[in-house]
């Protein structure tokens, strides 16, 4: 396996690596409020940790080139809380497109955008489609929230409710950065889906068929949801290994994707 960091190359060495058709991996995080018990850098730290762990699990015949983590993302839903650094959706989409275009100009055709923040997904979708249409770049969009969790790792309710700062993120931070978890502030923040909207069948935040556009305070005044009390370091280690294996499999399939099967985009007229 060829493992290297994009920024550690010279222009000449990067050109040489390009001949092996590596997968470019772009980790995406965020700097935003995560309640009183987790640091603002939670999503960025998880993106960094999972992407590194995934690369370490890739097979010897998979070449991966990790780009610098984008630590600031689309976080306007958390902008009412101090410390949140939020890019407007159009700004973030433009950043993703420009980075992808730079990857393509450098001779690479396979890019995985991996996000540890759900708010980045809409911009990822649009930027990836434009990169496919304009530059013929294969862009794989992945977020670990979409990966099936390990069996019996968290309860069914927590899987639905713990969207932000719940057991999952808190456990991962207990694994990657335990000193940054404020233990005496760990609590259960009940989501509006289990409170004011408990009787609703169709409309919810993320887990029902019709979703309303929400700001973090709409879900719970603390800005977080889920039961972080269910987290511990052992769960964090289990989750990290599981999600890293999943991401490594995605990278491997990206490396084996038959680019010849992709159609040739027709220029807009």
CB-CB contact of 240 with 53 (8 Å): yes
What's the pLDDT score for residue 17?
A: 83
The pLDDT tens digits of the residues spanning 90-101 come to 999 999 999 999
Min mean pLDDT across 51-65, 137-151, 253-267 is at 253-267
Listed by start position, the domains of the chain span 3-260
Helix axes 89-105, 121-135, angle to 10 degrees: 40
Question: Residue 265: its pLDDT value, please?
Answer: 73
> How far apart are alpha carbons 134 and 103 in whole angstroms?
13
pLDDT band at 207 (very low <50, low <70, confident <90, very high): confident
Nearby residues of 245 by Cβ (< 8 Å), 6 or more positions away: 54, 57
Sign of CA dihedral 227, 154, 49, 108: negative
The answer to whether residues 169 and 175 touch, using CB atoms and an 8 Å cutoff, is: no
State the chain's mean pLDDT as an integer. Answer: 94
* 69 φ/ψ angles, rounded to the nearest 5 degrees: -65, 135
CB 56 within 8 A of CB 69: no
141 forms bridges with which residues in the sheet? Answer: 113
* CA dist., res. 187 & res. 101, Å (int): 43
pLDDT band at residue 3 under the 50/70/90 scheme: low
Average pLDDT over residues 196-219: 94
Give the CA distances from residue 189 to residues 13, 45, 155, in Å, rounded to whole numbers and listed in that order. 49, 22, 15
Up-side HSE of residue 231: CA atoms within 13 Å toward CB? 32
**pLDDT value for 206:** 87
Q: How many CB atoms lie within 10 A of CB 151?
A: 6
pLDDT value of residue 93:
99
CATH superfamily, with its number, for domain 3-260: Creatininase (3.40.50.10310)
In which band, very low, low, confident or very high, does the pLDDT at 84 lie, cut at 50, 70 and 90?
Answer: very high
Is a pLDDT exceeding 70 seen at residue 2?
Answer: no
pLDDT over 60 (residue 1):
no
pLDDT grade for 19, boundaries at 50, 70 and 90: low
CB neighbours (10 Å) of residue 130? 18
Q: Stretch 136-159: mean pLDDT, rounded?
A: 94
pLDDT over threshold 60, residue 247: yes
Residue 11, judged by CB atoms within 10 A of its CB (0-12, 13-18, 19+), counts as exposed
Q: What is the 3-state secondary structure (H, E, C) of the chain?
A: CCEEEHHHCCHHHHHHHHCCCCEEEEEECCECCECCCECCCHHHHHHHHHHHHHHHHCCCCCCEEECCCECCCCCHHHCCCCCCECCCHHHHHHHHHHHHHHHHHCCCCEEEEEECCHHHHHHHHHHHHHHHHHHCCEEEEEEHHHCCCCCCCCCHHHHHHCCECCHHHHHHHHHHCHHHCCHHHCCEECCHHHCCCCCCCCEECCCCCEECCCCHHHHCCCCCEEEHHHCCHHHHHHHHHHHHHHHHHHHHHHHCCCHHHCCCCCCCC
Higher-confidence residue of 263 and 246: namely: 246
């Amino acid at each position: 396996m060829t493992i290297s960091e994009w920024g550690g190359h010279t222009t000449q060495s990067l050109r040489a690596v390009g001949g092996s058709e590596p997968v470019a991996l772009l980790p995406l995080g965020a700097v935003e409020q995560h309640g009183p018990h987790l640091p603002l850098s939670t999503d960025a730290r998880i993106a960094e940790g999972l992407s590194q762990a995934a690369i370490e699990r890739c097979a010897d015949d998979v070449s991966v080139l990790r780009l610098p983590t984008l630590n600031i993302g689309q976080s306007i839903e958390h902008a009412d809380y101090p410390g949140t650094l939020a890019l407007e959706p159009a700004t973030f989409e433009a950043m993703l497109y420009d980075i992808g275009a730079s990857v393509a100009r450098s001779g690479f055709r396979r890019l995985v955008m991996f996000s540890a923040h759900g708010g980045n997904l809409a911009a990822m979708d649009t930027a990836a489609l434009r990169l496919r249409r304009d530059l013929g770049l294969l862009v794989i969009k992945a977020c670990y929230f979409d990966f099936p969790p390990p069996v019996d790792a968290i309860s069914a309710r927590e899987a639905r409710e713990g969207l932000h700062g719940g057991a999952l993120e808190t456990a991962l931070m207990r694994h990657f950065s335990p000193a940054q978890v404020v233990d005496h502030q760990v609590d259960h923040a009940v989501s509006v889906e289990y409170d004011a909207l408990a009787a609703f069948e169709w409309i919810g935040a993320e887990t029902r068929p019709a979703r309303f556009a929400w700001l973090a305070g709409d879900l719970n005044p603390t800005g977080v949801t889920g039961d972080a009390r269910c987290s511990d370091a052992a769960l964090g280690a289990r989750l990290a290994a599981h999600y890293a294996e999943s991401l490594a499999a995605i990278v491997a399939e990206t490396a084996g994707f038959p680019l010849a099967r992709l159609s040739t985009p027709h220029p807009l007229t």
